[in-house]
């Protein structure tokens, strides 16, 4: 368990937190969009360009070997981090979005008209649009699990949607709007009973839980480095080897080939079959430093602390006259979305920004969920390991100030 002094020590590792915004100390609570980076990550970027930069998997020279070793070392680190069976099941992508697109593109070769895919009403656009596109192309039926008024998944509805026709169920582990943690293990088990594959969008969960591929027995799990204190532009598709091996390559070019001739080209084995072109070498290597950071603190410590923070935030913000907090807040992972009276979320976000508080406003890349709640946007506060209870008090006071300013 982390004590207050531990959090203060952790904060010291994030130089950006010393920034002033409009002469106020920065209160960064937009962590669901991207987390800030600790010193060891920032230093790893510098180290990469000082002593490692080189292309990978293709050079006989010292630097190329060094870069290749470090890239593969991070692949192994991620394998251990999520308890995957083999490092070849870890495919580097640009991020969660590309990982989902990869699966959508590859699985479309095996699907036929009338097959069904199930998603939920709370999904991020990245876990809606790729399935819509392939559904339109092939004539699949895209079914959507409904949610209750409190945002929780309607599991009875899921039971009524799933059948032998279902080929894939694709669900977020944690909602990026409501912070709700979905019962993914139950969903995976039921889906498998019907012979369906399952993809879990772990974008918001990756630094919260000990994610265990063996325990979950999930077919695909996708996530991005930048939501776990690592760099942007790099992420992972975890896929079970026996499934990935049946998939055709996603993109074509260097790295993913075994042998090229004008007559016929053969492809590399996993994971390289899905990694065409020069990868984001810097991103991968630097991600390694972020994983070390998370591991040193302990994912369960991070989650426990975030849950405490958000519980406090819900209590304080919930007492404000005219605030509407969305979603079930009995077990929240660290994300709360709200609206104030009938104020436009951009107005609220802009005033909070002037007070030094970084929140996200708008549709939060989840327009169907906004429609469900009958709004065009929300204000979202999302917490991380370096946030403090004092910052939540400041958010509370700043919201009161915002109401006064707009009401004037």
- List residues near ligand C6P by CB under 6 A: 32-33, 95-97, 124, 126-127, 172, 176, 201, 203-204, 224, 235, 360, 364-365
Strands 166-172 and 116-120: parallel
> SS3 of 238, please?
strand
DSSP state, residue 322: T
Nearer to ligand C6P, 363 or 401 (CB): 363
Nearest distance from residue 353's CB to ligand C6P, in Å?
Answer: 16
> SS3 of 355, please?
coil
Nearer to ligand C6P, 268 or 367 (CB): 367
Cβ atoms of 24 and 356 closer than 8 Å: yes
As a whole number of angstroms, the distance between CA 348 and CA 371 comes to 20
Nearest distance from residue 375's CB to ligand C6P, in Å?
Answer: 16
Strand partners, 224: 235
106 is catalytic: no
HSE-up of 151 (CA within 13 Å, CB side)? 28
Nearer to ligand C6P, 115 or 382 (CB): 382
Strand partners, 381: 336
Nearer to ligand C6P, 285 or 364 (CB): 364
Nearest distance from residue 164's CB to ligand C6P, in Å?
Answer: 28
DSSP state, residue 18: G
Output the DSSP codes for 128-173: THHHHHHHHHHT-EEEEE-B-TTS-B-HHHHHHH--TTEEEEEEES
Tokens 């790295």 sit on residue: 255
> SS3 of 70, please?
helix
- Residue 142: burial class (beta carbons within 10 Å; 0-12, 13-18, 19+): middle
Nearest distance from residue 273's CB to ligand C6P, in Å?
Answer: 21
Cβ atoms of 171 and 142 closer than 8 Å: no
Catalytic entry in 365, 370, 379, 399: 365
Nearest distance from residue 303's CB to ligand C6P, in Å?
Answer: 16
DSSP state, residue 61: S
Tokens 């209750």 sit on residue: 148
Nearest distance from residue 96's CB to ligand C6P, in Å?
Answer: 4
Tokens 């969009």 sit on residue: 33
Q: Would you name the residues annotated as active-site residues?
A: 365
């Amino acid at each position: 368990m982390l004590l207050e002094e531990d959090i203060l020590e952790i904060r010291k590792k994030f130089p950006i937190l010393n920034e002033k915004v409009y002469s106020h100390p920065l209160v960064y609570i937009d962590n669901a969009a991207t987390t800030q980076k600790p010193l060891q990550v920032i230093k790893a970027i510098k180290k990469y360009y000082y002593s490692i930069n080189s292309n990978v998997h293709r050079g006989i020279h010292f630097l190329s070997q060094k870069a290749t070793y470090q890239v593969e070392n991070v692949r192994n680190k991620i394998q251990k981090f999520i308890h995957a069976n083999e490092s070849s099941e870890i495919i580097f992508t640009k991020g969660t979005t590309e990982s989902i697109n990869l699966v959508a593109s590859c699985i479309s070769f095996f699907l036929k008209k009338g097959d069904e895919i199930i998603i939920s009403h709370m999904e991020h656009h990245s876990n809606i649009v790729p399935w819509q596109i392939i559904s339109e192309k092939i004539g699949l039926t895209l079914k959507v699990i409904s949610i209750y008024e409190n945002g929780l998944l309607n599991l009875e509805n899921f039971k009524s949607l799933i059948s032998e026709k279902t080929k894939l169920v694709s669900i977020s582990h944690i909602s990026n709007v409501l912070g709700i943690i979905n019962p993914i293990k139950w969903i995976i088990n039921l889906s498998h009973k019907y012979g369906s594959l399952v993809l879990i969008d772990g974008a918001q969960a990756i630094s919260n839980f000990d994610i265990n591929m063996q325990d979950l027995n999930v077919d695909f799990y996708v996530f991005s480095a930048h939501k776990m204190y690592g760099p942007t532009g790099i992420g992972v598709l975890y896929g079970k080897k026996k499934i990935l091996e049946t998939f055709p390559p996603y993109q074509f070019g260097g790295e993913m080939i075994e042998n090229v001739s004008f007559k016929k080209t053969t492809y590399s084995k996993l994971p390289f079959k899905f990694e065409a072109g020069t990868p984001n070498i810097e991103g991968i290597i630097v991600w390694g430093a972020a994983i070390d950071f998370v591991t040193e603190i302990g994912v369960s410590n991070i989650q426990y602390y975030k849950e405490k923070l958000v519980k406090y935030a819900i209590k304080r913000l919930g007492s404000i006259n005219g605030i509407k907090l969305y979603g079930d807040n009995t077990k929240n992972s660290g994300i709360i979305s709200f609206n104030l009276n009938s104020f436009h979320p951009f107005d609220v976000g802009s005033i909070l920004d002037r007070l030094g508080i970084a929140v996200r406003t708008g549709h939060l890349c989840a327009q169907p969920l906004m429609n469900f709640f009958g709004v065009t946007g929300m204000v979202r506060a999302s917490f991380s390991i370096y946030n403090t209870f004092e910052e939540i008090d400041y958010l509370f006071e700043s919201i009161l100030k915002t109401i006064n300013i707009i009401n004037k």
